[in-house]
Structure 1
Amino acid sequence: MLAAAVAVLAVVASLPVLRRLLSASAGGKKTKPPLPPGPFGIPFIGQTLSLVRALRANTADDWLRRCVAAYGPVSRLSLFGCATAFLVGPAANKFIFASAAVTAKTPESLARMVGRRTIREVVGDEHRRVRAMMVQFLRVDAVKRYVASMDDEVRRHLDAEWRGRGTVAVMPSMKLLTFDVMCTAIFGLGRDAARLELWTEFQQLVRGIWAVPVNLPFTTYSRCLAASWRGRHAVAGVIQERRAKLERGDCSPTSDVVTHMLAEGLPDEEIIDNVMFLMVSAHDTTAALLTFLIRQLEADKDAYDKVVQEQEEIARSKAPGEALSWDDLVRMRYTWAAAMETLRMVPPVFSTMRKTVADVQYGGYLIPKGGR
């Protein structure tokens, strides 16, 4: 009896060892999950051309739906010469922004246009330092100071671009308005030759964000790189002007973000990179929100009437020509809710590029370290 009990105990104790021996004989490694499905297409080009065509034709949503229908919410493709995992949906957004193994990655084509020392690229103490400089001009108390100047820009824009016209191309109009507001409120640029030069080059530069990154003389990307160089030269001129004003005591170190970065000792090259990055980042997203808000209101008469009623009530409380104040903005509760609903329904950012710093799994698929 005792011998039988010992034998049973020995067999039970040997089971883990036996399992390990069997695993070792089978290779000793766990099976890795598969890579996402989908073809890479033509080497280097991949799906870049089809995506660029869809963006130019304003059919990017249809392009995305076809990709999801063919391969599911997790797939792989080749964009701008890089193997890229394509994740779609709210859960994917949460994973991308919450995972410690996924970090920001500026596409090489964009980095060559806006610079490599932006707040998006620097890390650690340097990132915190640059972020603190920018946040100072985006806090509520700072935004309160901009309301009147923003209101002046909007009035001027509507008089010049909308009044008396039967038809208005909304998106181009909102892009110009966004640029003017940024120049006035954030960068402290007047209506002078520097702003006009920067706008001219900026229009060409943003065309290269989704261009095929082939730097040959006849390509769109080559023209965008040239516009970027000229735009950076214009920003460098603004920096020299602000430096001279600071030295003479003609302006405060907190007058605008450019002057503040100068006063904090940030190198000129990094100031230029961050100015270019801020302009590109804020330009299309803000213009897209304003455009889609107008479109949504046009399609929903009840919401449109409520926004108009709210705005007219505020207008009646103002003297002729009196600028809007922060208190007026606080009263725009329904208008704010309409803008937030537009952001929920039509996010202004079509996609965001990230890079994995370790092997990660999502949706049952493996995304290797270094993947886009």
Structure 2
Amino acid sequence: MDFYATCILGLSLSLLFFVFRKKRFAPNLPPGRKGWPVLGETLRFMAAGKSGCPQNFVNDRTARHSPDVFRTNLYGEDMTVFCGASGNKFLFSGEGKYVTSWWPNSIKKITHFPENLGRLSNTDAKKRRSFLLEFLKPEELQRYIPVMDSMTRDHLATDWSPNKEVRVFPLSKRYTFALACSLFMNIRDPEIASKFASSFARVTPGLIAVPINIPGTPFNRAMEGGKAMRQELLNIIRQRKMEISEGKGASARDLFTRALLEGDDDGTILYEMDASSKILGFLIASHETTSTSITAIVNYLAQYPHIYDRVRQEQMEIAKSKGPTELLNWDDVQKMKYSWDVACESMRLLPPAPGAYREATKDFTFASYTIPKGWKTFWTVHSTHKNPKYFPDPEKFDPSRFEGNGPAPFTFVPFGGGPRMCPGKEYARLEILVFMHNLVTKFKLEKAIPDEKFIYNPSPVPVEGLRLRLQPHN
């Protein structure tokens, strides 16, 4: 054998060894497909929501690939979607062990100043979460109930009572945003709240959108809205800091002022920008999901008179125990058990959020598949909420599912679960129940469009705003 033949043989054997070794030690990745270059399957994911059946994206892939986990590509990222109660449990309990919080860059670009994007860290996120949990603990929340009740009464008197027909969705957004401005930032001026709401309306549709920053796209409008809100918040921060330095706000108990008092203010513009981004994030979390939940609940109350009658009976017993001007309190809300069952069933059928994202901090295995470090993961409500394995006859509206011990663990997850369960869960519960109390004690409800469709963007949105006819109770 001559020299060249020996070299060719050696090279061939080396290549065979390399291919064999790579195949032998290649990780067993979850089954699935990546879709189009760059976009992946993002457009298909969004199209399922626009059709009103976001669960179809998950169901099609679990049927084709695996009922436990499948691979896709969303927002330009390798993504592993965890399905079912076992997938939810694994991700919820894996926080800090295998995964950490992660959000698409589109959200970060909308909510943060460009100068701050490179400074974000998981440590900062943990500090913000810890602070928010302290602000939203039960003893603090009890103080908010009379404020919620008073503002709800005013809202219904101003925006509902003068009309024979209303569009529920935009009104619920106005109400929850005004309440968040009042409780979180001590902003009660309707003109300022309205200015915020106008910018905010441009933000939410673009949070989970194809990040194409071209004029006219949802992402571009969200970027412009986020920029306007961050700047306005920055102005308020500087004004509030001046008041604190003059001793005017030292005793304030709103989230905004306390964040400034307890934060590590280094006196730089970057600190002020960070504080602005935090408050914007709090507003998004507290406002968007709660307003869509209220809209979903009102939809089912109007759709099912026998459900409405039971809720009204429960709420009237509470109302009759109060004086004409006496506001609701903590004990009153604890009596609203059936009303909360109705709220939960509404959120099961029309979940306020699709799920949440995580990032793998190390290689780990689930259902015999390997998820590599750096890959993104997604748990989704749509793998359990309408799954007949967990909820028989899943399209039926049945609040009795939540009586007694309720659904099996990790199957009903509108607020997530584990260490990163939504810190605003109890705040949302109080806000929803106070609103339900005032609504059913004041109005009979009738849907103007009986079969009005909901689409997901990414939260459920009624295509006509949920048009409702009102008849005041005598």
Scaled to the shorter chain, the TM-score interval is 0.7 to 0.9
Q: 2:84: which partner in 1?
A: 89
Superposition deviation, residue 341 in structure 1: 4.5
Superposition deviation, residue 77 in structure 1: 1.6
| Higher mean C-alpha deviation, range 324-333 or range 163-172 | 163-172
Distance 2:160 2:61 in 1: 39
* 1:50 maps to amino acid: R
Tell me whether 1:68 sits opposite 2:62 in the alignment: yes
In structure 1, the residue corresponding to 2:143 is in which secondary structure? helix
Q: Deviations over 1:31-89 (max 9, x none)?
A: 55532222222211121122223334433233333333333332222211112112222
In structure 2, the residue corresponding to 1:353 is in which secondary structure? strand
Give 1:133's match in structure 2, choosing from 128, 131, 134.
131
**Structure 1 residues 132 and 323, CA, compared in 2 at 3 Å: closer, same or farther?**
same
In structure 1, the residue corresponding to 2:207 is in which secondary structure? coil
Name whichever structure is richer in strand by fraction: 2
Indicate conservation of the 8 Å contact 1:197/1:234, yes or no.
no
Give 1:40's match in structure 2, choosing from 34, 44, 49.
34
In structure 1, the residue corresponding to 2:365 is in which secondary structure? strand
Distance 2:167 2:61 in 1: 30
Give 1:280's match in structure 2, choosing from 284, 308, 321.
284
| Higher mean C-alpha deviation, range 257-266 or range 198-207 | 257-266
Aligned counterparts, 1:139-178, within 5 A: 139-178=137-176
| Higher mean C-alpha deviation, range 37-46 or range 203-212 | 37-46
Superposition deviation, residue 369 in structure 1: 1.0
Indicate conservation of the 8 Å contact 1:137/1:186, yes or no.
no
Give 1:369's match in structure 2, choosing from 349, 362, 373.
373
**Structure 1 residues 254 and 173, CA, compared in 2 at 3 Å: closer, same or farther?**
same
Aligned counterparts, 1:283-302, within 5 A: 283-302=287-306
Give 1:241's match in structure 2, choosing from 239, 242, 247.
239
Superposition deviation, residue 268 in structure 1: 1.6
Superposition deviation, residue 354 in structure 1: 0.9
Number of matched residues? 344
Distance 2:349 2:50 in 1: 22
Tell me whether 1:110 sits opposite 2:107 in the alignment: yes
Percent identity of equivalent pairs? 29
Aligned counterparts, 1:351-370, within 5 A: 351-370=355-374
| Higher mean C-alpha deviation, range 130-139 or range 42-51 | 130-139
Tell me whether 1:123 sits opposite 2:122 in the alignment: yes
Indicate conservation of the 8 Å contact 1:171/1:291, yes or no.
yes
* 2:131 maps to amino acid: M
Indicate conservation of the 8 Å contact 2:101/2:122, yes or no.
no
Q: Deviations over 1:294-319 (max 9, x none)?
A: 34444554443221111111222223
Aligned counterparts, 1:195-274, within 5 A: 195-266=193-264, 267-274=271-278
Q: 1:189: which partner in 2?
A: 187
User: What TM-score does the superposition give when structure 2 sets the normalisation length?
Assistant: 0.66
Distance 2:22 2:153 in 1: 71
User: What TM-score does the superposition give when structure 1 sets the normalisation length?
Assistant: 0.83
In structure 2, the residue corresponding to 1:175 is in which secondary structure? helix
Distance 1:195 1:324 in 2: 25
Which of the pair has more CA radius of gyration?
1
* 1:108 maps to amino acid: N
Q: Which has the higher contact order (CA 8 A, sep 6+)?
A: 2
Q: 1:309: which partner in 2?
A: 313
| Higher mean C-alpha deviation, range 286-295 or range 101-110 | 286-295
Distance 1:128 1:350 in 2: 22
User: Which 5+ residue runs of structure 1 have no aligned equivalent?
Assistant: 1-25
* 1:282 maps to amino acid: S
| Higher mean C-alpha deviation, range 233-242 or range 291-300 | 291-300
| Higher mean C-alpha deviation, range 295-304 or range 197-206 | 295-304
Superposition deviation, residue 209 in structure 1: 1.0
**Structure 1 residues 68 and 283, CA, compared in 2 at 3 Å: closer, same or farther?**
farther
| Higher mean C-alpha deviation, range 132-141 or range 174-183 | 132-141
Distance 1:102 1:29 in 2: 27
Indicate conservation of the 8 Å contact 1:33/1:364, yes or no.
no
* 1:271 maps to amino acid: A
**Structure 1 residues 90 and 291, CA, compared in 2 at 3 Å: closer, same or farther?**
farther
